[in-house]
């Protein structure tokens, strides 16, 4: 599903922020990625998703070398295969919850109402983001990322702006849906309790050789 080989990211000759020798993720795995701020968690996620090009090495997703593609092909690949969930939701304020979800479907049919019911928002399809709580906004973001059943879901601190109780509920819901849909999930979190909800966990100290060299 996901393979990384000898990947590095640097922003200058002596400024290597990420150095990963090898990663392999099987289809359907659900993995929490933990580590302190600045350890490269989000950078790694964005490189897997085709958003940040590595300085060296390969990122292979579904047998496709992501960064050997043109920008246009990479964008199309990401739209088809990757579901992103961000900490700040990125809902468009001028659109209803349903309209925000419809944006990613590009005219394709999907059981939108069923998904709203699935996450407990059956009465909120036509509400605007400012009419929703932060937990409800994140549920809409979940639907938007998952409704087209992407092969891979990348979640970057998806509960970081929520209170503790809501964060626990949201993370449990995300893991549950990805398990039911057999989606591969990589989620960045700095919260140890949230990481325990995943069947598998990686720390950046295990993956990032730059950090290992500092110890």
How many domains are contained in the chain? 1
Closest by Cα among 167, 160, 170, 171 to 198: 171
3-class SS of residue 185: strand
Boundaries of domain holding 121: 2-214
pLDDT in tens, 176-200: 999 999 999 999 998 888 999 999 9
Name residues whose C-beta falls within 8 Å of residue 15's C-beta, 6 or more positions apart in sequence: none
pLDDT in tens, 81-140: 999 998 888 999 999 999 999 998 988 889 999 999 999 999 999 999 999 999 999 999
- The CATH number of the domain holding residue 83 is 3.40.50.300
Name residues whose C-beta falls within 8 Å of residue 209's C-beta, 6 or more positions apart in sequence: 19, 20, 21
DSSP state letter for 3 = E
The structure's pTM equals 0.91
Residue 212 pLDDT > 60, yes or no? no
pLDDT in tens, 124-150: 999 999 999 999 999 999 999 999 999
């Amino acid at each position: 599903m996901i393979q990384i080989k000898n990947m590095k990211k640097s922003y200058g000759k002596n400024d290597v922020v990420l150095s990963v020798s090898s990663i392999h993720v099987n289809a359907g795995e659900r993995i929490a990625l933990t580590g302190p701020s600045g350890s490269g968690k989000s950078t790694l996620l964005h490189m897997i998703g085709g958003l940040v090009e590595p300085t060296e090495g390969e990122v292979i997703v579904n047998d496709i070398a992501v960064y050997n593609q043109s920008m246009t092909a990479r964008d199309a690949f990401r739209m088809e295969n990757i579901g992103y969930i961000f900490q700040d939701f990125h809902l468009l304020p001028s659109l209803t919850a349903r309209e925000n979800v419809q944006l990613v479907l590009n005219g394709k049919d999907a059981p939108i109402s069923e998904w709203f019911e699935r996450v407990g928002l059956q009465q909120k399809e036509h509400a605007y983001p400012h009419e929703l709580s932060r937990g409800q906004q994140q549920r809409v973001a979940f639907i938007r990322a998952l409704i087209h059943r992407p092969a891979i879901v990348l979640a970057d601190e998806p509960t970081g702006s929520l209170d503790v109780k809501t964060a626990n509920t949201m993370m449990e819901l995300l893991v549950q849906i990805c398990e039911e849909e057999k989606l591969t999930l990589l989620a960045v979190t700095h919260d140890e309790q949230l990481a325990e909800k995943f069947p598998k966990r990686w720390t950046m100290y295990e993956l990032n050789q730059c950090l290992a060299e500092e110890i």
